[in-house]
Amino acid sequence: MAFTTNATIASCGGKLLKLTHKASSTNCDMNLNLYLPPQAQSGKVPVLFYLSGLTCTGDNCAEKGFFQKPASEHGIAIVYPDTSPRGLKIEGEDDAYDFGSGAGFYVDATKEPWTKGYNMYSYIADELPKALFSSFPELDSSKVSITGHSMGGHGALTLFLRNPGMYKSCSAFAPIANPINCPWGQKAFNGYFGEDQSKWQEHDATELVKKWKGPLSLLIDVGTGDNFYKQGQLLPENFIAAAKEAGNDTDITLRMQPDYDHSYYFISSFADNHVSYAAKFLSSKHIL
């Protein structure tokens, strides 16, 4: 068994499993939470990955995101991964909230010493799903969607746009939508990639959407009271403008939610909408 189950917690009629496994891409043991809805006891269930933001582990959203209730109603499993490797003993790893531990940015670092395990792109896109699908036969590997918050919203958008067909749908809460043009993204990309701007562009949702071919559906929520939005860390308008310019057949819904901030009060207020959105695409009846 690839995973150790540290706890099994009853939640909304299903089970929240607190798991640990040894990951080669991140060069350390990784913790995560997996929510199995009640429907998983009698058949395969679709899977929604939730990527968390800066400073988070898989616990923040599992505890206060309010995803389990709608996931139980729709019969969807939720995967809540960690946001970086931990304890690699890289100098400076724990010095800042927005770089290193808790801030893996869902990229594979190309700059030393971060190459030692800061490979959250490969971990989320490849190693973790493979491990989960081989250990949990109740998870349907053909029906996978992705969502995320802030740094995790950037992760959700970029993984979706870089891997056409891998995910049935994508949505995001307050995503860092144009990291190459905001302080958080510039710090992270400079740290993980160095000055190679081509690498930066490969992990920028606004650059990636310009190259997207064919129809594109997305749901994005941002709060008008979000201080990080006001400081120019999120830049959702740049993403929308790039998608329009690219002339794609787009169905991108950007909802500016009045007064909401960047916190889990915001996420929990719209979690049911994002699970329902994924459910529509994960349903076998939905035609892509």
Active site residues: 150, 226, 262
Strands 45-51 and 3-11: unpaired
Could you tell me the smallest distance in angstroms from the CB atom of residue 182 to ligand LAXINWYW?
11
User: What's the CA gap between 93 and 238, in Å, rounded?
Assistant: 31
Interface residue with ligand LAXINWYW, options 54, 120, 172, 282 (CB under 6 A)? 54
Q: Does 264 bind ligand LAXINWYW (CB under 6 A)?
A: yes
Residues 114, 119, 120, 122, Cα dihedral to 10°: 170
* SS3 of residue 222 by DSSP: strand
Q: Does 35 bind ligand LAXINWYW (CB under 6 A)?
A: no
The half-sphere exposure of 148 on its side-chain side, counting CA atoms within 13 A, is 32
Q: Does 62 bind ligand LAXINWYW (CB under 6 A)?
A: no
Count of residues touching ligand LAXINWYW (by CB under 6 A): 12
Please, which residues bridge with residue 253 across strands? 219
Of 95-124, binders to ligand LAXINWYW (CB under 6 A) are 97
Of 144-163, binders to ligand LAXINWYW (CB under 6 A) are 149-151
Q: Does 60 bind ligand LAXINWYW (CB under 6 A)?
A: yes
Three-class DSSP labels, 156-221: HHHHHHHCCCCCCCEEEECCCCCHHHCHHHHHHHHHHHCCCHHHHHHCCHHHHHCCCCCCEEEEEE
Could you tell me the smallest distance in angstroms from the CB atom of residue 213 to ligand LAXINWYW?
29
Q: Which is nearer to ligand LAXINWYW, 54 or 282 (CB)?
A: 54
Q: Does 55 bind ligand LAXINWYW (CB under 6 A)?
A: yes
Nearest to 81 by CA among 30, 11, 147, 12: 30
Task: Name the residue type at position 115.
Answer: T
Q: Does 263 bind ligand LAXINWYW (CB under 6 A)?
A: yes
Could you tell me the smallest distance in angstroms from the CB atom of residue 204 to ligand LAXINWYW?
15
**Tokens encoding 278:** 């994924």
Which residues lie near ligand LAXINWYW (CB under 6 A)? 53-56, 60, 97, 149-151, 262-264
